[in-house]
């Protein structure tokens, strides 16, 4: 009887764990194979998180529209985030001068301009958006197995000389707890197993379908593959994709010893 009970309990535990894993992430076999191949190359989120934290110089260049230039700091465990903007023409207090500091610690956003606290709700909302999205853009290729990710294989498409495997990524809002979730179409390079480009939506900016395009160039920094140069494109009125910006990470350093208390703005 005890043996049967142990077998029953073990079976229930396996079923429970299987339910958790399938509710956390859903994927067809081909998509899972492509993501597993990528993880085998970049080491997955555990490899990134083992670096504890990161600092880098970020130039968000939208050409004639201007630039945002920041020093970014992120702690991987807890996804705490901080940035100092020396130039902020676009997304952070545009039209103002001076040093803008953003912080997002334990889900609490704060913003200062030249040391003065900013409480404007639109600016605070922008702080939440940027702290989350800047962390995500840096860590995206290490977060493809996050809870709530749902994948569907879309076949192949030739771009230049490469026949890419295309995979749709959408998020389960019940798990992400977000009213609006971005959608992606990822292009996996069959030779390197990396994602060379993707299309994406940006519902926070009113772009509901994955029509924006991003290409990625990678560098290995302290054993970590980082997409140090991203180039953005969007379709014009004729449907032709035109450049809209270049987004560059440089001066990347890991394991700086940051603590979340260091990111709190007084």
- DSSP secondary structure of 152-199: EEEEEEEETTEEEEEEEEEE-HHHH--SS---EEEEE-TTT-SEEEEE
Q: Percent of the chain having pLDDT more than 90?
A: 83
pLDDT-derived band of residue 25, with 50, 70 and 90 as boundaries?
low
Lowest pLDDT segment from 86-100, 107-121, 139-153, 164-178: 164-178
Q: Range with the lowest mean pLDDT among 14-23, 37-46, 198-207?
A: 14-23
Q: Which residues of 73-93 are buried (b: 16+ CB within 10 A; e: fewer)?
A: bbbbeebbbbbebebbbebbb
Q: Which two tokens stand for residue 90?
A: 């676009």
**Every domain of the chain and the residues it spans:** 2-263
* Neighbouring C-alpha atoms within 13 Å toward the C-beta of 99: 6
CA 50 to chain centre: 18
The pLDDT of residue 178: 74
Domain 2-263: which CATH number of 2.50.20, 1.20.58, 2.160.20, 1.10.540: 2.50.20
Quickly state the pLDDT bin for 22 (edges 50, 70, 90): very low
Which is higher by pLDDT, 179 or 263? Answer: 263
Interval 82-109 mean pLDDT: 97
Output the pLDDT for position 55. 98
Tell me the pLDDT band of 205, cut-offs 50, 70 and 90: confident
DSSP code per residue over 238-262: TS-EEEEEEEEEEEEEE-----GGG
**Which of the four pLDDT bands, split at 50, 70 and 90, describes residue 204?**
confident
- pLDDT, tens only, 150-162: 999 999 999 999 9
């Amino acid at each position: 009887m005890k043996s049967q009970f142990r077998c029953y309990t073990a079976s229930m535990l396996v079923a429970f764990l299987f339910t958790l894993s399938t509710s956390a992430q859903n994927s067809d076999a081909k998509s899972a194979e492509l993501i597993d191949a990528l993880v085998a190359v970049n080491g997955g989120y555990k490899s990134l998180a083992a670096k504890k934290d990161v600092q880098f110089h970020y130039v968000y260049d939208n050409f004639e529209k201007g630039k945002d230039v920041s020093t970014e700091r992120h702690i991987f465990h807890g996804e705490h985030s901080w940035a100092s903007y020396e130039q902020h023409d676009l997304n952070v207090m545009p039209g103002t001068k001076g040093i803008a500091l953003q912080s997002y610690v334990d889900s609490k956003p704060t913003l200062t301009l030249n040391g003065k606290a900013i409480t404007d709700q639109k600016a605070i909302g922008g702080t939440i958006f940027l702290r989350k999205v800047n962390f995500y853009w840096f860590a995206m290729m290490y977060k493809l197995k996050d809870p709530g990710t749902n994948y569907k294989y879309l076949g192949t498409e030739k771009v230049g000389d490469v026949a890419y495997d295309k995979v749709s990524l959408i998020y389960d809002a019940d798990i992400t707890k977000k009213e609006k979730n971005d959608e992606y179409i990822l292009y996996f390079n069959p030779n390197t197993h990396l994602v060379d480009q993707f299309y994406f939506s940006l519902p926070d900016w009113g772009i509901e379908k994955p029509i924006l395009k991003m290409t990625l160039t990678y560098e290995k920094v302290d054993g970590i593959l980082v997409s140090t140069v991203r180039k953005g494109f969007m379709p014009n009125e004729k449907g032709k994709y035109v450049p809209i910006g270049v987004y560059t990470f440089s001066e990347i350093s890991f394991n700086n010893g940051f603590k979340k208390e260091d990111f709190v703005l007084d």
